[in-house]
Structure 1
Amino acid sequence: MEHLNQTLFLWLNAPEHPNAFVVTLATFFAEWFIWTIPALIGIGWLRGNEGIRKTMLIASASGLMGLLINQLIGLVWTHPRPFMIGLGHTLIPHAADSSFPSDHLTLWWAVALSFLLQPRLQRAGVALALLGVPIAWARIYLGVHFPFDMFGAIAVAAFSAWLTLHVAGWYLGSIYRLASGIHHRIFGRLIALGWVRE
């Protein structure tokens, strides 16, 4: 399996003299595109009704759960990144920590699959899930992940999305009240002026 993982990596990884535009595009997807997730959740919270806001909270819980599971996996089993074993070409800096599963893709797909499991945001979930593909490619192309790290990410993300949705009754009400209280404290004046939804 590891041989297949390394073979796929070398097939997708950047060549010795990569095209500058492709590197720039890959860097955007690998390092900056992830900020779409907090932006979407923030906009959804500010503009949405109670149902949408609760959906945003479940998606946030899914992402956080996925990242927690990744940390536990890393403690139990450490898998080196390609540059740690001298494989391929690395075009962006990264800490020499465990590569499996990919935190970027886990967070992205955990939110995407959380949306996908909830009827009101299924189209957004499909779009986000598809947009995870160039992120996966970019992190392999730039040399910081193996392909199997991405398969691990989608497995963790799927479990996290399913779990946080099915146990939402345990935490959603209290988290929603807390988040609403913080929202009113921060945006109280703007709410009063009608600029921000209550």
Structure 2
Amino acid sequence: MPFQNLNLYLFHIFNVPEQASHFMMSYATFIAHDLIYIVFLSFICAWLIGNIETKKNILKAFIFTSITLFISEILSFVLDTPRPFVMNVGETILTHAPTGSFPSNHMSIFSGLALSYYFSSQRQLGKLLLAVAWLVAWARVYVGVHFPLDMFGAFFFAFVVNISGLKLWNIYKERLMAWVMMLYRKIFSFLINKGLIQ
């Protein structure tokens, strides 16, 4: 089976069926569109109240995910592959601009975060985040804004960034962390001194 045919075949398997329940469509829409905001808020809270080790892992995740997202944005713009609804393929239940489909920015973010933790001392959290990442991948295909290949591509680039960046991170992490913490303590000194954040 040609690769593009396999991509379309998998899309039709996971895309929203005609008899889908209102609950399933609402659930998939929440995962595909809104979960990312909860994750961002969780990381912000974890940074503000977490210890230095927690902050170090968050900084690593932020850097690696930002690089992955940057690659994703560039490829999406350059390749400009059409989304399913642009090709009139399947059903779409989430409004989205007709930007480039490959790779998925959402999957790039979730995969970048998950793999950053997976390749760290907090591997168990990384495993949980990987499950969340693939849940998001399913949801983005289900609501009709991406093809399965967009998800695998995003995961691949996140994997490459995390693997290739580990050595550099281990060399420079202490210096990076010291600089970030110095800046953080200057900006938020009032709240830190009041004991409201760490």
Confirm or deny a common fold (TM above 0.5). yes
Indicate whether 1:90 and 2:117 are aligned: no
Query: Which amino acid is 1:6 matched to?
Result: L
Query: Which amino acid is 1:26 matched to?
Result: A
- 2:44 corresponds, among 33, 42, 45, to 42
Please give the alpha-carbon distance, in whole angstroms, between the structure 2 residues aligned to 1:66 and 1:165: 14
Tell which deviates more after alignment, 91-100 or 169-178: 169-178
Q: Give the TM-score taking structure 2 as reference length.
A: 0.90
Please give the alpha-carbon distance, in whole angstroms, between the structure 2 residues aligned to 1:86 and 1:194: 55
Alignment RMSD = 1.9
> Is the partner of 1:133 in helix, strand or coil?
helix
Please give the alpha-carbon distance, in whole angstroms, between the structure 2 residues aligned to 1:127 and 1:49: 21
Taking structure 1 as reference, are residues 36 and 178 closer, same or farther at Cα in structure 2, changes over 3 Å only?
farther
Partner of 1:143: 144
Give per-residue Cα distances to partners, 1:152-190, cap 9 Å, x unaligned.
Answer: 111011112223332225754554344323422443222
Please give the alpha-carbon distance, in whole angstroms, between the structure 2 residues aligned to 1:84 and 1:106: 21
Q: How much identity, in percent, do the aligned residues show?
A: 33
Query: Which amino acid is 2:192 matched to?
Result: I
Indicate whether 1:113 and 2:111 are aligned: no
Taking structure 1 as reference, are residues 85 and 93 closer, same or farther at Cα in structure 2, changes over 3 Å only?
same
Partner of 1:166: 167
Taking structure 1 as reference, are residues 164 and 123 closer, same or farther at Cα in structure 2, changes over 3 Å only?
same
- 2:105 corresponds, among 103, 106, 119, to 103
Q: Report the alpha carbon displacement of residue 27 of structure 1 after superposing the two structures with TM.
A: 0.8
Q: Report the alpha carbon displacement of residue 193 of structure 1 after superposing the two structures with TM.
A: 2.1
Partner of 1:193: 194
Taking structure 1 as reference, are residues 77 and 54 closer, same or farther at Cα in structure 2, changes over 3 Å only?
same
Q: Give the TM-score taking structure 1 as reference length.
A: 0.90
Unaligned runs of 5+ in 2: none
Partner of 2:59: 57
